[in-house]
Amino acid sequence: MRCREGVRFSKEREHVKAVFILIGTRGERHLHLQTLAAIAQIMQDESFEERWAKAKGGTGLRDVLLLSARKRVH
């Protein structure tokens, strides 16, 4: 989910502009951890925030995540 203006969760922190929610079953724990690791890698890229902010709609946001360079683990 993206909020261009940002959401304030705490007075001590900056506004949050991206929120990721993962839902899965107990049997998908490994996939859950792989997904978290992939998101963390993608967000470390210095161009992530700009690309996330400029993405057009749901398809654009999905493309930022799926087409970003990252180390893939099999």
List, for residues 14-65, the tens digit of each pLDDT value.
899 899 999 989 899 999 999 999 999 999 999 999 999 999 999 999 999 9
CB 63 within 8 A of CB 55: yes
Predicted confidence at residue 74, as pLDDT, reads 61
Predicted confidence at residue 39, as pLDDT, reads 92
Indicate if the pLDDT at residue 72 is higher than 90: no
CB 22 within 8 A of CB 34: no
Q: Could you give the CA distance from residue 40 to residue 51 in angstroms, rounded to a whole number? A: 15
For the whole model, what pTM was predicted?
0.74
**57 φ, ψ to 5°?**
65, -175
Predicted confidence at residue 1, as pLDDT, reads 84
